[in-house]
Amino acid sequence: MILLTTDQIPGKRIIKVFGLVRGNTIRARHIGKDLLAGLKNIVGGEISDYTKMMAESREQALDRLIEDAEAVGANAVVGVRFATTSMMQGAAEFLVYGTAVTVEEE
């Protein structure tokens, strides 16, 4: 599966557009990790537990985007975008979306 943030794929032509596809996940913070993150906030530096959580969320959302695109018969997704939204205190949604297409060599 080809995933690009651009609307065109160099060397390929779009032969069919399926429309919007998406993948998302919602994650909640862990209270114990929040305490450690609060301490880290005092001394500064990266909060590696949150970095790891966001990376895992991004990968899960991308996997779900690919599943959605494959379900409609696409072999590529163009115009891929990422968004995050706070759902409630301590929980956030990670969303990835784009346009599912079929491409072939030019």
Digit-coded pLDDT (tens) for 12-31: 999 999 999 999 998 876 55
pLDDT digits (tens, 9 = 90+) for 29-79: 655 555 555 555 565 666 677 778 888 999 999 999 999 999 999 999 999
| Number of independent structural domains in the chain | 1
- Host domain of residue 44: 2-105
User: How far is residue 77's CA from residue 98's CA, in Å, rounded to a whole number?
Assistant: 6
User: How far is residue 44's CA from residue 4's CA, in Å, rounded to a whole number?
Assistant: 34
Task: Identify residue 47 by its one-letter amino acid code.
Answer: I
- Extended strands (E) in the chain: 2-3, 12-28, 76-88, 91-105
pLDDT digits (tens, 9 = 90+) for 72-99: 999 999 999 999 888 777 778 899 999 9
CATH of residue 89? 3.30.110.70
